[in-house]
């Protein structure tokens, strides 16, 4: 029983240390951390049922971290793609506003030119 409490304590300490990093974690890192924690906990529970909580936690943690990292990487890719699309939308919006201003300027120029033309006739 002491072994499983020690392992849970180590996992908890590892989670606390990793979450105390100076910069925020991205989606991939969060996925890896959560997957590893959940995998280790699940592996320890399953391992305890068969009499080997340590190896169960190690295997579960490794597999969970791998799966969590892959899933987090997919989320990060989608987030990056959405950011790039939003940048394109913003650039297109700026271009539309610029073109509208140019159209208004040309309309004003046309009306002043037309007024001058009629003044001379």
Which has more pLDDT, 59 or 85? 85
Q: Could you tell me if 56 and 8 are in contact, meaning their C-beta atoms sit under 8 angstroms apart?
A: no
Using left for φ > 0, alpha for ψ between -120 and 50, and beta otherwise, residue 21 falls in: beta
Q: How many domains does the chain have?
A: 1
- Summarised one tens digit per residue, pLDDT across range 19-48 is 665 577 788 888 888 888 888 888 888 888
| pLDDT score for 117 | 61
Range of the domain at 10: 2-120
Verdict on whether the full-model pTM lies above 0.75:
no
Residue pair 15/37 in contact by the 8 Å Cβ criterion: yes
**Residue bearing the bigger pLDDT, 85 or 54:** 85
Three-state secondary-structure class, residue 120: helix
Task: Identify whether the C-beta of residue 67 lies closer than 8 Å to the C-beta of residue 36.
Answer: no
Tokens describing residue 78: 């989608």
């Amino acid at each position: 029983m002491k072994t499983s409490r020690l392992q849970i304590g180590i996992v908890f300490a590892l989670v606390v240390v990793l979450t105390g990093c100076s910069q925020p974690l991205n989606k991939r890192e969060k996925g890896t951390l959560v997957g590893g924690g959940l995998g280790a906990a699940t592996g320890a529970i399953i391992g305890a049922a068969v009499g080997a909580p340590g190896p169960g936690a190690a295997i579960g943690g490794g597999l969970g971290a791998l799966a969590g990292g892959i899933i987090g990487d997919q989320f990060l890719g989608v987030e990056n793609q959405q950011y790039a699309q939003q940048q394109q939308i913003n650039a297109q919006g700026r271009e539309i506003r610029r073109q509208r201003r140019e159209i208004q300027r040309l309309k004003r120029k046309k009306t002043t030119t037309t007024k001058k033309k009629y003044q001379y006739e």
